[in-house]
Structure 1
């Protein structure tokens, strides 16, 4: 309205010839007002574009100041901020639902594995116990000593040995679960990672030579010291190294390579082999407790290893290209603090 009034008065003054100079001044003022309006609209359009780009890029940290500018700008900024909050809250609820679903699936998978392992151990024990009882009992009555032969005694001894072995396996399985459930807090100290890796090389060199597996260690500097629980980190490295050796069991020209790199505030330890690899759909399942693709094994090693690394405030990651490179990466903070750790 101000633009129309000022420009109208200016044009009227020029046309009538009574106020030509004032008319020109009025038109200039009108043009200035038009320029201010265009600048205001452009600024508003830029804010709208910025808001829409932020939504498209999933940027949830965008905030428009609600205390400055004109009333219209403050109202617009408040509306933008409200929409942004609603979108963020919706995304957060969606993420929580996905996490709950994954947690439920993990527990469901764990219960299936536990049930499967326990039943596999108990079922043959029950069956074998019934068979052994039949050697010494007839129609719910004990057999006489004359009816018991040396063959029966021999079979009973072998059967009892089998029951003992199966029972021991079940106890080991239960012990593995207890170890995972009651893992102690790390006791960090400064120690030589270089020495630990060289000791592991000496420990497994004979087995590596026997299997004709090439082995190499590459360090970003000759002597590397880190703050961590040496015993727990050694347990993780031993487990990953044994897994790599087992993966190359039936492969010619196998190789294992350990690379230690400096990632700023973190240190990376990569255990790389050229084995058959891990299928993409199994790369997260291998960290589920008691999940295993091996014919033997408890399926506890990788789950326990990831938990140990998380308790150190780090990460255990995996990537795999079959028969090219399977890499387990340990990311650890150089300055470990207990309050940085997560379980």
Structure 2
């Protein structure tokens, strides 16, 4: 059955109206999310003196940084139509690893995971897009935690090193590993080995690292765990 040109135009107009309505709703929701974030941040800051007494004030710093990161993600969403570059800021590579370890400390305890870290011998501070690097590490940490769920002993190792003006971050687990076929399709959008996976996480990771002029490499085989290695130049062009 052929659709009349007028009907096609009407359907296109309805589709555009629907999209515009969804965009307005999304912008409204993004703005609304900011209100509870501000409240949460305020109460977290009130807790800092109490945590300082037990030597855990650093937890507050990490939580506040993560709330600021959420706020930055909202800003990027609201400015999605405007030309922009990844926001770079002075970042200590070792602090980045320490923050990630603190962020996953609670979940590691709950899941009975041994989470160990290693930092660069000579720390470096560079202008890099911290939020995007955190996004990559968090995606890989999430994958690692899911991969080791069925192991009797669960281990994740997170490390950073520097050599020849390149930074290298390694996320290693002793989980189920991947087949050769899965590795070949790993960075293809919407491919996932998990039943409820979207298949977007690793493709986004690769896109981010590519934009940094770096590389992401996986070493994995079934039943023998997985090692993700991220490398990127410290002097970003």
**Matches of 1:194 and 1:238, distance apart in 2:** 16
Which moves more between the two structures, 282-291 or 223-232? 223-232
Match of 1:259 among 143, 153, 159: 159
> Following TM superposition, by how much is the alpha carbon of 1:324 offset from its aligned partner in structure 2, in angstroms?
3.2
Contact 1:270 1:327 in 2 (8 A): yes
SS of aligned partner of 2:186: helix
Compared with structure 1, are the counterparts of its residues 184 and 247 closer, same or farther at alpha carbon in structure 2 (3 Å cutoff)?
A: farther
**Matches of 1:295 and 1:205, distance apart in 2:** 26
Runs of at least 5 residues in structure 2 that lack an aligned partner in the other structure? 1-76
Larger RCO, structures 1/2 (Cα 8 Å, 6+ apart)? 2
Partner of 1:231: 131
The answer to whether residue 119 in structure 2 is matched with residue 187 in structure 1 is no
> Following TM superposition, by how much is the alpha carbon of 1:222 offset from its aligned partner in structure 2, in angstroms?
6.0
Partner of 2:189: 289
**Matches of 1:281 and 1:321, distance apart in 2:** 10
The answer to whether residue 193 in structure 2 is matched with residue 279 in structure 1 is no
SS of aligned partner of 1:286: coil
Describe the superposition over 1:22-54 as per-residue Cα deviations: whole angstroms up to 9, x where unpaired: xxxxxxxxxxxxxxxxxxxxxxxxxxxxxxxxx
**Matches of 1:250 and 1:226, distance apart in 2:** 39
**Matches of 2:225 and 2:125, distance apart in 1:** 27
CA RMSD after TM alignment: 2.2
Where in structure 2 are the equivalents of 1:1-343 lying within 5 Å? 185-221=85-121, 223-337=123-237
Q: TM-score under structure 2 normalisation?
A: 0.62
SS of aligned partner of 2:202: helix
**Matches of 1:317 and 1:184, distance apart in 2:** 28
Contact 1:315 1:331 in 2 (8 A): yes
SS of aligned partner of 1:221: coil
SS of aligned partner of 2:108: helix
Runs of at least 5 residues in structure 1 that lack an aligned partner in the other structure? 1-177, 338-343
**Matches of 1:184 and 1:308, distance apart in 2:** 14
**Matches of 1:236 and 1:217, distance apart in 2:** 17
> Following TM superposition, by how much is the alpha carbon of 1:331 offset from its aligned partner in structure 2, in angstroms?
0.6
> Following TM superposition, by how much is the alpha carbon of 1:262 offset from its aligned partner in structure 2, in angstroms?
2.0
Contact 2:155 2:174 in 1 (8 A): yes
**Matches of 1:240 and 1:220, distance apart in 2:** 19
Q: TM-score under structure 1 normalisation?
A: 0.43
Partner of 2:43: none
Greater share of residues in helix: 1
**Matches of 1:247 and 1:217, distance apart in 2:** 18
Contact 1:216 1:258 in 2 (8 A): yes
